[in-house]
A and B are shown apart, each in its own frame.
Chain A
Amino acid sequence: MHELWQASQHAMVLLFTGNRDLWEIIGISFSVSLKAIVIATPAAFAAAFVLVYTRFRGRGVVMSIMNTSLSLPAVVVGLTLYLLLSRSGPFGDLRLLFTQTAMTIGQVILAFPLVFVMSHSAIQSGQRAAWETALTLGASPIRAVLTVLYEVRFGLIAAVIAGFGRIVAEVGSSMMVGGNIAHFTRNIPTAIALETSKGEFAQGIALGFVLLVLAFGLNIGLSLMQRKGGVAP
C-alpha cells in the first residue's frame, strides 16, 4: 500500500512538472488516435447512413460483419497488420511497420466497427420523416444527409467518443505494429505495459491517470452538450 502511495505521488510529480518523456508519450498517443478517429468517423457515418436509408442485397451480411467486428481483439488486428506490413508481407515495400502510420491504420480498423454500429443505431432511431421533410422542402441530397446527421448529433457524438475511447486505450495493435519505440511509437498503453513490466509504476500510474481524466472529460463534455441541446440522442 505504501509503495502504491509513493508511486502515485511520484506520478503526480512527473505529470505536473512537465516531464518531457511522459508528455511526449501522451502527445504520440493523442496524435495517432485523433488521426485514426478523424479517418474512421466520416467513413463510418457514410456507411451507416447508406445502410439505414438504402435497400440492397447483403445488408444483413454487412450488419452481421460489423457487429462481429465489435469484439475484434486488438491483438488480432495487430497480428494481421503485422503480417501484411512486414518485409515478407504483401505491403512490405511500403515500409510502414513500426511507424505511427501503421498504428493509425490499426486504430482505424478498431474504431470503424464501433463508430459504425453506434451511428447506425443513432441514425436508425431518428425518424425517416426528417430525411423526407428535408427533401420535400427542396434540400439537395447532401444537405438532407447533413440535416439528418445533425438531428441525431448526440448519438453520433457518443459514437465518436466511444470509438476514441476504445483506440486511445488499446495496447495489442499499437504494440505489434508500432513496436513501442521510445520517442517514436511509444504511446500511453504501450508505455504503461512496458513500465509495469520493469516494475516502474510511477510513470504507468501517471499515464493511467491521464486516460482516466480523458474518459471523465469526454463524458462530462457529452452530458453538457446533451443538456444544452435539450434532446436526448
Chain B
Amino acid sequence: MKPILSLTGVHKRFGARCILDNVDVHLAPGQCQVLTGRNGAGKTTLLKIIAGLERPEAARVSIDGNERGWRRARSALRRDVVYLHQYAYMFDASVEYNVGYGLRAARLPPSQRRARVAEALERIDLLHLAGANARTLSGGERQRVALARAWALQPRVMLLDEPTANMDRESREQTWFLLRRLKSDELCVVVATHDGHAIATLPDIELHLDNGNLFPHAADTHSHRPTPSPVATGSAAGPRLEEQG
C-alpha cells in the first residue's frame, strides 16, 4: 500500500542525549500501528515530530510521494495529522466548542460544522453532554471527546499518545472500542501504549522504540538490534521501517 506519509532519517536530540537516531516511519491508509517503548524512549517526541509539533534536527518528509522541506511539510502535517495528548487537553468551553474547534479553524460553514460535531459526539455516545463544560468531564470522557474532536476533522493520520494511561479497565476498553469504531480505510492510526490488550488486538504493525532506534516488534527491550523483517529493514545508520499492506 502506498504510504500517505513518510518521514525518513529522523534525528532528534535534547542536549547531548540522542532521542531518535535516523528513524524511518512510513504511514499507510487504513493501517493501525502500535508504538511501544520504555518511558523516556522518545515515543512522544516521535509522534510530535510526525504531527509537525516538534522540529527534528534532520528528517526527510514525503507526503503522497512528494518530498518537502520541513517548513512546508510542517503545515501539511498539521493539516493531515492530528496528535492526541496522553491527558487530553480540553479548552475551557463546552464539549461542542471543543469538538468544533478544528472545524472553526478550517472555516467550515456553521451549519456543516454543527452537523459534523453532532455526528462526532453521537459516535462517542456523548451527544447529551454537548453543552457541558469540557473541563468538568472525567478522564475517560475527556479522551473520548478528544477522539471525537480529532475524528471530526477527518484527518489522514491520527496519533494517540498513551490514550488509556491512568484509566480504569472500563474506560480503557471503551477507548479501544471507540478507536476501532472511528477507524476507516482512509485513516492511519498510530498508538503509543503499554496496554497489553491494545497491543494484542489493535495493530497491523507493532513497533518498538529503544535507544533512538525503531524496531518491528517488542519482545525484549534489551535484546533488540536493527534486524530486517517483513515490516522493517535496516539502513546504514539505523533501521528503516517499510510499509506493510
Contact = CB atoms under 8 A, between A and B. Distances in A.
Interface of A: 127, 129-130, 132-140, 143, 147, 150-151, 229-231
A138 B53 contact: no
A139 B91 contact: no
12 contacts: A129-B85, A129-B87, A130-B89, A134-B105, A135-B52, A136-B51, A136-B52, A137-B105, A138-B102, A139-B102, A143-B105, A151-B91
7 A-B pairs closest in CB distance:
A137-B102, A129-B89, A139-B105, A133-B89, A136-B83, A138-B105, A138-B102
A6 to B, nearest CB: 52
A226 to B, nearest CB: 12
B79 A138 contact: yes
Interface of B: 48, 51-53, 78-79, 81-83, 85, 87, 89, 91-92, 101-102, 105-106, 133, 135, 149-150, 153
A230 B133 contact: yes
A139 B101 contact: yes
Contacts of A139: 101-102, 105
B91 A138 contact: no
A112 B206 CA distance: 53
Q: Is the interface of B mostly helix, strand, loop or mixed?
A: mixed
A137 B78 CA distance: 7
A138 B106 contact: yes
Nearest to A137: B102
Contact of A127 (B78, B81, B89, B105): B89
Given A137-B149, A140-B105, A147-B91, 13 more contacts: A129-B87, A129-B89, A130-B91, A134-B101, A136-B51, A136-B53, A136-B82, A136-B83, A137-B102, A137-B153, A138-B153, A139-B101, A150-B91
B87 A135 contact: no
Contacts of B81: 136
Given A129-B85, A132-B83, A137 B92 contact: no
